């Protein structure tokens, strides 16, 4: 929502473009290999990831511009690697505000300062704040340059049915209603996914009681990019407030509503202004500010039972809705997009068997359930659902002033990348390893000369070893071989030893690892990661 | 811990609880539980004791 007198996308600092429906109508009913429904950050990432693999797609969105408002503002380190691998990370690094530190306050007193894992070995910061419309703008700039992606704005998908070994979509735009067929559909159409409804599927899970108003204000507030959590502050007794800095002097204020506060009344402009002013008073900010945008949010943990329905894959919020505290909504959506793209591309161009696609849902739904477990913990601390949780939360906060162990209970422990240990393509670990990332885990970053380990990875699979003999014994069209000096930092981090090797997937997860690698083992693991599950 | 020691703890808890208004007693008990648990440092043992304390008395 925007203040009275301003249109939905009339921002203080961002010019929303206006996109037209397709003008060239001749080819609209042609067959697409992949149709992506929803041109938000997740759909755009999927389109770009497919294009990087040489696969063309049609990207459809009902709107004529980007999503209104800053929405998902925390982009994690793992997402920066996805952007890097798409070749679009530069504008994000220019614009976004990297951060490492969070501070928690209880009744005005600081009780905890936590740092997320970071250091000189890390290429990217643990978290970056940037408004969602910039995320969409930067992805769009890359899509506009990409001939393999055809975007159709103002195009609503009104029907979807299985036909001719593909899916027949009914599309309505301002000029006509037409049908098009796609071999595969990626449903990136958000929390209220129309594709999900038309396929007769429902999200399942829990709704939490806590409701938050999220409001953006523009102000010249002098404070570093540190996430602040205010527990039981003067401005909102019994509630919790979160404060995030964004680019362009925009500040995100999230404040919890009391159980007796009516949602409609709470989002009235005058109420929002008064509530924000009270928070700013608590923060000690006495300057002027402009209200930019606000919305209301409640904490849910909802997911589909299966992220695949025949030839439809659900990616992003259409498949899962998570509480904001873990900042995993957008970040997990981007990982969904990357995950399905490298697999679907390989199936489409014949490099991989269909069975590879069976790994998408276990891997990405597993990641969602992991977020649920963590987010539920965070939600219970931020918005205690019952008297028992409330009492223990208050006890911890009250002790935290003098006892750091209790303050640690307020540490949100955000964002540890999920390990795909239960995936059908992840191999059993070699028990001989003493350290290093497990199969299914994300490759850790390591400094290499003037760059980083991840800079050495190929665009497909990568074999990392210290052994020239192993490297020379294995060759595959998809494989980049990286030979690491014995005793180097990478050798230490991966515990490679003389004959060890890691096979790294296109999404930087470890496919398999061996203490004494043979060419046959590596080729078998590569085959498995191309859908040969025999 | 001797009988005298435990009696001293018992007294201290009772007098502290009496010094608090009714609305602060729960919070106090939750705080002392967390502090004692942190001192004891054995999560399994503490969870057993939580279950023990939750047992209804045989009356």
pLDDT in tens, A249-291: 999 999 989 888 899 999 999 999 999 999 999 999 999 999 9
Judge contact between A226 and A102, C-beta under 8 A. Answer: yes
Q: Which residues of B touch A405 (CB under 8 A)?
A: 38
C-beta atoms of A394 and B27 within 8 A: yes
Residue A415's pLDDT is: 61
- Running DSSP on this structure, what letter comes out for residue A509? B
Q: Which residues of A touch B30 (CB under 8 A)?
A: 391-392, 394-395
Quick check: helix, strand or coil at residue A343?
helix
ipTM: 0.94
Of chain B, the end-to-end C-alpha distance in Å amounts to 28
* Beta partners for residue A169, in sequence order: A160, A180
pLDDT at residue A245 tops 80: yes
Query: Which contacts (CB < 8 Å, 24+ apart) does range A9-16 have?
Result: A9/A65, A9/A66, A9/A68, A11/A133, A11/A292, A11/A293, A12/A218, A12/A290, A12/A292, A13/A218, A13/A248, A13/A249, A13/A250, A13/A292, A14/A131, A14/A133, A14/A134, A14/A248, A16/A65, A16/A66, A16/A68, A16/A133
Instruction: For chain A, list the domains and their CATH numbers.
Output: 32-95+129-202+302-363 (3.50.50.60), 447-528 (3.40.30.120)
**Which one of A297-306, A367-376, A459-468 scores highest in mean pLDDT?**
A459-468
A442 vs A511: CA distance, rounded Å: 9
Summarize the confidence of residues B13-25 as an average pLDDT: 96
Q: Among all residues of chain A, which has the CA nearest to that of B38?
A: A405
C-beta atoms of B27 and A391 within 8 A: yes
Assess if residue B24 is contained within a domain: yes
Q: Which residues of B touch A395 (CB under 8 A)?
A: 27, 30-31, 33-34
Assess if residue B31 is contained within a domain: yes
Nearest residue to A178 via CA among A187, A188, A186, A169:
A169
A398 vs A233: CA distance, rounded Å: 13
CA of A390, closest CA in chain B: separation in Å? 10
Nearest residue to A274 via CA among A301, A260, A304, A294:
A294
Of chain A, the end-to-end C-alpha distance in Å amounts to 53
3-state secondary structure A141-206: HHHHCCCCEEEECCCEEEEEEEECCEEEEEEECCCCEEEEEEEEEEECCCCCCHHHHHCCCCCEEE
Judge contact between A29 and A180, C-beta under 8 A. Answer: yes
Of B31, B33, B38, the CB nearest to A398: B31
Number of domains in chain B: 1
Judge contact between A67 and A39, C-beta under 8 A. Answer: no
A363 vs A426: CA distance, rounded Å: 10
CA of B5, closest CA in chain A: separation in Å? 25
A46 vs A333: CA distance, rounded Å: 10
- Taking the CA atoms of residue A302, residue A306, residue A309 and residue A312 in that order, the dihedral angle to the nearest 10 degrees is 70
A6 vs A65: CA distance, rounded Å: 16
Using the CB atoms, write b or e for A64-82: b if 16+ within 10 Å. Answer: bbbbbbbbbbbbbbbbbbb
Residue A112's pLDDT is: 85
CA of B13, closest CA in chain A: separation in Å? 17
Most A CBs within 10 Å: which of B20, B26, B33, as the mutation test of the A interface? Answer: B26
Q: Among all residues of chain B, which has the CA nearest to that of A397?
A: B31
Nearest residue to A123 via CA among A412, A437, A448:
A448
Q: Which residues of B touch A391 (CB under 8 A)?
A: 26-27, 30
CA of B6, closest CA in chain A: separation in Å? 24
C-beta atoms of A395 and B34 within 8 A: yes
Query: Which contacts (CB < 8 Å, 24+ apart) does range A267-271 have?
Result: A267/A1, A267/A213, A267/A294, A267/A295, A267/A296, A269/A1, A269/A3, A269/A4
Most A CBs within 10 Å: which of B31, B39, B43, B50, as the mutation test of the A interface? Answer: B31
Judge contact between A203 and A54, C-beta under 8 A. Answer: no
Residue A404's pLDDT is: 86
Q: What is the pLDDT of residues A125-160, one digit of tens each?
A: 999 999 999 999 999 999 999 999 999 999 999 999
A390 vs A386: CA distance, rounded Å: 6
A164 pLDDT band, cuts 50/70/90, is confident
3-state secondary structure A210-240: EEEEEEEEECCCCCCCCEEEEECCHHHCCCE
B58 pLDDT band, cuts 50/70/90, is low
A301 pLDDT band, cuts 50/70/90, is confident
Q: What is the pLDDT of residues A182-197, one digit of tens each?
A: 999 999 999 999 999 9
Answer with the residue of higher pLDDT: A26 or A412: A26
A391 vs A238: CA distance, rounded Å: 12
Distance of CA A35 to the CA centre of its chain: 21
How buried is A259 (Cβ within 10 angstroms: 0-12 exposed, 13-18 middle, 19+ buried)?
Answer: exposed
C-beta atoms of B30 and A403 within 8 A: no
Assess if residue B34 is contained within a domain: yes
Assess if residue B59 is contained within a domain: no
Q: What is the side-by-side strand order in the sheet with A74-76? A: A74-76, A127-129, A97-99
Assess if residue B40 is contained within a domain: yes
- Running DSSP on this structure, what letter comes out for residue A21? P
Nearest residue to A66 via CA among A231, A206, A200, A190:
A190
Residue ranges of alpha helices (H) inside A320-454 are 329-348, 360-382, 387-400, 404-407
Q: Among all residues of chain A, which has the CA nearest to that of B26?
A: A391
Range of the domain at B8: 3-54
What residues contact residue A452 under an 8 Å CB cut-off, 6+ apart?
Answer: A123, A445, A446
C-beta atoms of B31 and A395 within 8 A: yes
Nearest residue to A359 via CA among A230, A507, A205, A144:
A507
C-beta atoms of A394 and B38 within 8 A: no
A209 pLDDT band, cuts 50/70/90, is low
Q: What is the pLDDT of residues A476-525, one digit of tens each?
A: 999 999 999 999 999 999 999 999 999 999 999 999 999 999 999 999 99
Q: Which residues of A touch B46 (CB under 8 A)?
A: none
CA of B35, closest CA in chain A: separation in Å? 8
3-state secondary structure A253-300: EEEECCCCCCHHHHCCHHHHHHHHHHHHHHHCCCCCCEEEEEEEEEEE
- Running DSSP on this structure, what letter comes out for residue A349? T
- Running DSSP on this structure, what letter comes out for residue A99? E
Report B:1-59 residues touching A (Cβ under 8 A).
Answer: 26-27, 30-31, 33-35, 38
Q: What is the pLDDT of residues A406-446, one digit of tens each?
A: 888 877 666 677 899 889 999 889 999 999 999 999 999 99
| Mean of pLDDT over chain A | 93
Summarize the confidence of residues B18-36 as an average pLDDT: 96
Q: Which residues of B touch A398 (CB under 8 A)?
A: 27, 31
B59 pLDDT band, cuts 50/70/90, is low
Residue A413's pLDDT is: 64
C-beta atoms of A394 and B34 within 8 A: no
Q: Report the 10 Å Cβ neighbour count for A297.
A: 15
Answer with the residue of higher pLDDT: A56 or A380: A56
Give the start-end residues of each E strand in A396-521: 447-448, 451-452, 461-465, 479-483, 501-504, 510-514
pLDDT at residue A299 tops 80: no
Residue A409's pLDDT is: 83
């Amino acid at each position: 929502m925007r203040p009275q007198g301003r249109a939905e996308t009339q921002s203080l600092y961002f010019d929303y473009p206006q996109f037209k429906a397709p003008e060239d109508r001749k080819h609209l009913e042609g067959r697409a290999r992949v149709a992506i429904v929803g041109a938000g950050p997740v759909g755009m990432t999927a389109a770009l990831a497919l294009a990087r693999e040489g696969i063309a797609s049609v990207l459809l969105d009902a709107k004529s511009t980007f999503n209104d408002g800053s929405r998902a503002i925390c982009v994690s380190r793992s997402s920066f690697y996805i952007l890097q691998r798409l070749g679009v990370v530069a504008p994000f690094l220019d614009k976004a505000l990297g951060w490492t530190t969070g501070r928690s306050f209880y009744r005005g007193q600081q009780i905890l300062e936590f740092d997320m894992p970071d250091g000189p070995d890390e290429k990217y910061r643990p978290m970056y704040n940037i408004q969602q419309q910039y995320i969409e703008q930067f992805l769009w700039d890359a899509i506009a340059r990409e001939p393999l992606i055809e975007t159709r704005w103002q195009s609503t998908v009104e029907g979807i049915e299985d036909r001719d070994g593909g899916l027949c979509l009914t599309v309505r735009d301002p000029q006509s209603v037409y049908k098009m067929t796609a071999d595969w559909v990626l449903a990136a159409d958000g929390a209220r996914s129309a594709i999900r409804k038309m396929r007769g599927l429902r999200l399942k899970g829990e709704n939490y009681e806590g409701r938050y108003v999220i409001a953006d204000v523009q102000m010249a507030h002098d404070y570093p990019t540190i996430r602040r959590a205010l527990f039981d502050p003067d401005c909102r007794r019994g509630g919790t407030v979160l404060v995030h800095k964004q680019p362009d002097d925009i500040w995100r204020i999230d404040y919890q509503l009391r159980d007796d506060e009516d949602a409609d009344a709470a989002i009235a402009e005058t109420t929002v202004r008064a509530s924000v002013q009270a928070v700013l008073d608590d923060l000690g900010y006495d300057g002027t500010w402009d209200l930019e945008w606000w919305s209301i949010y409640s904490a849910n943990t909802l997911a589909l039972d299966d992220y695949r329905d025949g030839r439809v894959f659900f990616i992003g919020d259409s498949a899962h809705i998570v509480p904001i505290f873990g900042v995993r909504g957008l970040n997990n959506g981007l990982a969904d997009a990357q995950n399905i793209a490298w697999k679907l591309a390989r199936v489409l161009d014949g490099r991989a068997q269909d069975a590879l696609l069976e790994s998408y849902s276990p891997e990405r739904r597993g990641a969602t359930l992991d977020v649920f477990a963590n987010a539920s913990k965070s939600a219970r601390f931020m918005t205690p659902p019952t008297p028992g949780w409330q009492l223990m939360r208050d006890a911890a906060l009250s002790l935290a002033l003098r006892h750091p162990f209790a303050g640690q209970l307020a540490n949100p422990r955000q964002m540890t990348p999920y390990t795909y240990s239960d995936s059908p393509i992840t191999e059993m670990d070699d028990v001989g390893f003493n350290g290093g990332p497990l199969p299914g885990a994300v490759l850790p970053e390591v400094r290499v000369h003037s760059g980083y380990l991840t800079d050495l990875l190929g665009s497909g699979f990568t074999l990392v070893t210290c052994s020239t003999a192993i490297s020379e014994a294995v060759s595959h069209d998809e494989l980049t071989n990286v030979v690491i000096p014995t005793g180097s930092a990478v050798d230490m981090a991966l515990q490679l030893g003389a004959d060890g090797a890691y096979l790294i997937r296109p999404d930087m997860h470890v496919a398999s690892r061996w203490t004494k690698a043979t060419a046959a083992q590596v080729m078998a693991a590569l085959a498995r990661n191309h859908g040969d599950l025999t | 811990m001797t009988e005298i020691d435990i009696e001293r703890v018992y007294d201290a808890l009772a007098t502290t609880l009496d010094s608090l208004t009714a609305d602060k007693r729960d919070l106090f008990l939750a705080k002392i539980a967390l502090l004692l648990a942190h001192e004891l440092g054995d999560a399994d043992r503490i969870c057993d004791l939580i279950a023990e304390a939750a047992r209804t008395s045989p009356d």
